[in-house]
Amino acid sequence: MTDTFQSSQPIYLQLADRLNRQIVSGELKPGDKLPSVRETAVSSKVNPNTVQRTYRELEASGIVESRRGQGTFVTENEDILLSIREKLKQEQIQNFIQVMHDMGYQNEEIKEGLQTYLEGGARHD
Amino acid sequence: MIEFKNVSKRYMTKTALRDVDLKLDKGKIIGLVGLNGAGKSTTMKLIAGLINPSKGSVELDGEKVTRRIASKVSYLSELDEYYSFYTVQQTIDFFATQFPDFNKEKAEEIRAYMNLDANTKVKHLSKGNRGRLKIILTLSREVPVLLMDEPLSGLDPLVRDSIVKGLITFVDTEKQLVLLSTHQIMEVEMILDEVIAIKDGELVDHRNVEELRYDEQKGILEWMSSIYE
Amino acid sequence: MKAWLALVKKEFRIGLPIMLLAVVLFLVGLVIVTATTYKFGYAMDAVGIIGLAWGGGHFFFMAIYMLYSLGVERKRLHLWLHNPMHASGLLAAKLVTGTVYMIISLLIVSIAAYVGGLNFVPFSDGTWFKVGMIAFVHVVSLSIDFSIYVILAYIVFLLLVRYMPTFLSGAVVFIGWWLFAYLYFGLFSQSKFYAAITEWGKIDLGFIANSLQFDISTKEALINMQGEQLTVYAGYYIIELIIILIIYFIASWLLDKKVEV
């Protein structure tokens, strides 16, 4: 978590994004305790107030829960985890497609390219 | 918490600060940026009560600031003159006697964290280590206001990094207000809640950093270059 | 109180060089004088004279001590003044340590002065000891008294130096100093008014012959000599004490409210 943030985007959003990914990838498992605000602040070298805000946002989205006096935990609610998983996927695809469209690729070309890449990539990895 | 009401500070030949209105809230880490001679140190010293405004007033919690505001304010000067005959430990012990809010355990913790030898005489400390000592002395006080004038200036990147980490680790962001002036924007960019730009003694802008990023997709550096060009 | 005592400890450390210097200079002087006069058989007289001279010189001890100590702080005013303590407390810590150092140094000198003086003073041992005690107390209190004026002058210097070059500030303070000295010692303390408020509470020092006024001669105008009688006024001491307290208050106030870092 020491890699840097983009200075021109809100840090609390970048940090939320990062934590969401860790949860979706399974790096943080359902029921896992998140590091304390201070620990996260130190390890990612950002203001504790910013981390506080990130945790608040994540809590509002339901992906984490704060338990009084114990800390913040990744939710064990399957529905929420699935919906976040779906949401991140949609976001990534949307970005990708946007970039491809901007460069002038057609949907057919993109689909074909993806298919070839995924099939070929699976064999080479 | 801190309020400048139409503050000017004049010296014989120059005006260091002109008609500044400023409000600073607690629980924030605030950066004060500007070119050399813009009035950063003057602003800090006014809050510390070490200089008096020529016009207007500076208040802390509604109380007019005087030199004895030192009971509520921990001030780190840009100079690093301490009593040269003391060792690091003796300097810490002396500070602990002068300020009832000085937390000696915290000082020891920060000293260990900063990796500063307790028994070295202050006069034998390198510039980097004097910078570390200043941080220990300033952050060990449990006061509402921490003022740090150029805490990173003239230090090498490793020391700057440990100081920034020290700030994140040891400042109580819920209770304490930190105002720090610096040239090293890159180092502190991620830890600032707010940023204040002054230019030629005048307050140019005062922004919430995350809002600045959100509203204008600008980092502090880009924002600064738009101000100073 | 705990904070102040810790400050006193720091002041002892800052001021130590001045005390050491005073003692070392005296001992060196003593050795030189003794060595050069020994073959003429006047060594003890010489020891007495140098003791008396150096003892009288202690009038300046506190002023030099304060200038040195304040000079040390001037380089780190942001450190010295960034303290919730009242300025009078900051200054008092310096005065107290200086006084202790002066007494230590003066005791060493006094032994030489007393022993050496036995060779030439026309008094019995008991009288000489009493005279010595009176002189001792006067040197100590006059030295403190004088140093408080010096503190005020130094603080005025610190005020001026924010607004004008160092040399000019020094010059202004120097001229102001002599102007003040003239007004105070030349006019005020010679006035009928001053006499009226100070000349009460006569204390008879008749056991001292008038030939021995040297060590209190700095205020000779106030020592009324009537034939073999030597008297001083309690009123003089009280008034001087009040004046010096006022000066001290002004100096502290300026340091608290006006001196800038």
* CA distances for C103 relative to C20, C125, C139, C245, angstroms: 13, 22, 10, 21
Choice among B124-138, B158-172, C226-240 with the minimum mean pLDDT: C226-240
Interface A:B, Cβ pairs < 8 A: 57
Tell me if B96 is assigned to some domain: no
What is d(CA B122, CA C79) in angstroms, rounded to the nearest whole number?
14
Q: What is the pLDDT of residue C202?
A: 85
Per the CB < 8 A criterion, the answer to whether A50 and A15 are in contact is yes
pLDDT confidence band for C122 (50 / 70 / 90): confident
| Residues in B lying within 8 Å of A, measured between beta carbons | 27-29, 164-165, 168-169, 171, 173, 189-193, 210, 213-214, 217-222
Residue C214 has pLDDT above 80, yes or no: no
C3 and B97 in contact by Cβ < 8 A?
Answer: yes
Give the dihedral of Cα atoms B156, B162, B163, B166; nearest 10 deg.
180
Residue A5: which of B169, B173, B190 has the nearest Cβ? B190
How near does any CA of chain B get to the CA of A41, in Å?
7
In this predicted model, what pLDDT tens digit does every residue of C9-24 receive, in sequence order?
999 999 999 999 999 9
Residue A121 has pLDDT above 80, yes or no: no
Please indicate whether chains C and B are in contact, defined as at least 3 beta carbon pairs under 8 Å: yes
Q: What percent of chain B has pLDDT over 70?
A: 100
Choice among A48-62, C137-151, C199-213 with the minimum mean pLDDT: C199-213
Q: How many helices (H) and strands (E) does chain A have?
A: 5, 2
Please tell me which chains touch C, using 3 or more CB pairs under 8 Å as the contact test. B
Q: What is the pLDDT of residue C40?
A: 85
Residue C118 has pLDDT above 90, yes or no: no
Residue B70: which of C77, C84, C260 has the nearest Cβ? C84
Per CATH, the number for A11-76 is 1.10.10.10
Residue B48 has pLDDT above 80, yes or no: yes
Chain C interface, best mutation among B91, B94, B98, by max C CB count within 10 A? B98
Residue C216 has pLDDT above 60, yes or no: no
Long-range (24+ apart) CB contacts under 8 A made by A52-57 are A53/A12, A53/B210, A54/A12, A54/A13, A54/A15, A54/A16, A54/A19, A57/A12, A57/A13, A57/A16
Residues with Cβ within 8 Å of residue B73, at least 6 apart in sequence: B47, B48, B49, B60, B143, B144, B145, B146, B147
In this predicted model, what pLDDT tens digit does every residue of A1-30 receive, in sequence order?
446 788 889 999 999 999 999 999 999 999
Tell me the pLDDT of chain A averaged across its residues.
89
pLDDT confidence band for B25 (50 / 70 / 90): very high
Residues of chain A with C-beta less than 8 angstroms from the C-beta of B29: 47, 49
pTM, rounded to two decimals? 0.87
Per the CB < 8 A criterion, the answer to whether B149 and B181 are in contact is yes
Chain C interface, best mutation among B68, B72, B147, by max C CB count within 10 A? B68
Q: Which two tokens stand for residue A79?
A: 């529905």
Residues of chain B with C-beta less than 8 angstroms from the C-beta of A35: none
Per the CB < 8 A criterion, the answer to whether B170 and B177 are in contact is no
Tell me if B149 is assigned to some domain: yes
Q: For residues B1-18, give the mean pLDDT.
A: 92
Q: Which two tokens stand for residue C192?
A: 């009928």
Q: What is the pLDDT of residue A7?
A: 86
> Is residue A2 within 8 angstroms of chain B, CB to CB?
no
pLDDT confidence band for C38 (50 / 70 / 90): confident
How near does any CA of chain A get to the CA of B208, in Å?
11
Q: For residues B222-227, give the mean pLDDT.
A: 88
By DSSP bridging, strand B145-149 and strand B73-76 are parallel
pLDDT confidence band for C126 (50 / 70 / 90): confident
Structure ipTM = 0.91
pLDDT confidence band for C219 (50 / 70 / 90): very low
Q: What is the pLDDT of residue C121?
A: 81
Q: What is the pLDDT of residue B100?
A: 95
Q: What is the pLDDT of residue B37?
A: 85
Q: What is the pLDDT of residue C54?
A: 96
What is d(CA B49, CA B12) in angstroms, rounded to the nearest whole number?
20
Q: What is the pLDDT of residue C60?
A: 97
Number of folded domains that form chain C: 1
Q: What is the pLDDT of residue C218?
A: 41
Residue C82: which of B11, B75, B94 has the nearest Cβ? B75
B168 and A47 in contact by Cβ < 8 A?
Answer: yes
Q: What is the pLDDT of residue A64?
A: 93
Please indicate whether chains A and C are in contact, defined as at least 3 beta carbon pairs under 8 Å: no
> Is residue A92 within 8 angstroms of chain B, CB to CB?
no
Higher pLDDT, C40 or C255: C255
Q: How many helices (H) and strands (E) does chain B have?
A: 8, 10
| Full domain range(s) for residue C13 | 2-257
Residue C163: which of B12, B71, B83 has the nearest Cβ? B12
Q: What percent of chain C has pLDDT over 90?
A: 69
| Full domain range(s) for residue B22 | 2-79+144-228
Tell me if B125 is assigned to some domain: no
Number of folded domains that form chain B: 1
Residue A111 has pLDDT above 60, yes or no: yes
Spell out the domain ranges in chain A: 11-76, 84-124
Choice among C48-62, C111-125, C202-216 with the minimum mean pLDDT: C202-216
Choice among A59-73, B43-57, B136-150 with the minimum mean pLDDT: A59-73
B169 and A10 in contact by Cβ < 8 A?
Answer: no
Tell me the pLDDT of chain C averaged across its residues.
89
> CATH number of the domain that B22 lies in?
3.40.50.300
pLDDT confidence band for B118 (50 / 70 / 90): very high
What is d(CA B2, CA B18) in angstroms, rounded to the nearest whole number?
17
Q: Which two tokens stand for residue C76?
A: 């780190």
